[in-house]
Amino acid sequence: MSTWTASMFKVCDHPCPSLSHPAHHQPFFDRKSDHLLYHNRATEEPDAQGTANRRGAVQRLERRWLDCHQLRGSWIWSMRGDEAKRVCSGINLVQVPVARGKADLNLYRSAGAEVVAILASKGKCERASIDEVYLDLTDAAKEMLLQAPPDSPEGIFMEAAKSNILGLPADASEKEKNVRAWLCQSEADYQEKLLPCGAIIVAQLRVRVLEETQFTCSAGIAHNKMLAKLVSGMHKPAQQTVVPSSSVQDLLASLPVKKMKQLGGKLGSSLQDDLGVETIGDLLSFTEEKLQEQYGVNTG
């Protein structure tokens, strides 16, 4: 059984500082503020907008986000510029670089390449989109389990201890203690011991990404890509979620059918309309024969 992570870093639509000299700026993405930020690496002096460094830019844009919090209900990138200005008159909308009449994504791709280069140090990367990567951690997790398995709750470093483990007790006051204990479980079988190792490796990678690029990542860790993708966006920003095998059934039971890969379009709508299916749990109540009868052998 493999151990996969789906790591995501989000590109946002409304950068704050000027793009008038894009060659001198490096973008980075911060999910907490939902902005694409630019930092002039040539100097630590404040730029024309008063932004002295990356972290200062994050704080500055967080203040703007608080002023424009009403946009969060519909997300700024689903609005036209004139609509956004009606909702938040003080918003600063800046066009991304353009080449040959289209958005120039080279800055975004370069930023993604920085992240992938770090992730690839621990496994095989599979790019899913400009801001999403699958990483096969199986070999790295096996190596950790063989050479340095997590065996002391006190020895788990902080970022790993912040992991969200599906199925653990929901008591917030005991969360860190429960996570540390889960990461060091000794009674689990071999395959389940790979997940804690994967969670620790991903936490280490996310810290490296932040330290070396100041990009933040959210991640999902599971035994396959589908599950890793499903939970990668569950806890944001800059957090990771793990799916133990024992939690898969409960996760799918309440999952909206359109959240499942390949069921987000017409087929998902057909399931809802024809069969009254709203969740994957509802879908599992139908036999394979019934689904094949309704949608054909291959699709069913």
Whether 171 and 291 share a structural domain:
no
The tally of domains found in the chain comes to: 3
Question: Which residues participate in catalysis according to the annotation?
Answer: 132
Whether 130 and 223 share a structural domain:
yes
Whether 278 and 261 share a structural domain:
yes
Instruction: State yes or no: pLDDT of 64 exceeds 50.
Output: no
* Strand, coil or helix: 39: strand
**What is the pLDDT averaged over residues 165-169?**
93
Write out pLDDT tens, residues 216-257: 899 999 999 889 998 988 888 899 999 999 999 999 998 899
Instruction: Please provide the average confidence, as pLDDT, over all residues in the chain.
Output: 76
pLDDT for res 8? 52
Whether 240 and 129 share a structural domain:
yes
**What is the pLDDT averaged over residues 259-287?**
88
Half-sphere exposure of 254 (CA within 13 A, CB side): 4
Whether 157 and 187 share a structural domain:
yes
Whether 238 and 124 share a structural domain:
yes
In total, the chain counts a number of residues equal to 300
Write out pLDDT tens, residues 32-44: 333 332 222 222 3
Write out pLDDT tens, residues 115-149: 999 999 999 999 888 889 999 999 999 999 999 99
Residue 80 structural domain: 35-43+52-95
Whether 290 and 142 share a structural domain:
no
Tell me whether residue 82 is in a domain: yes
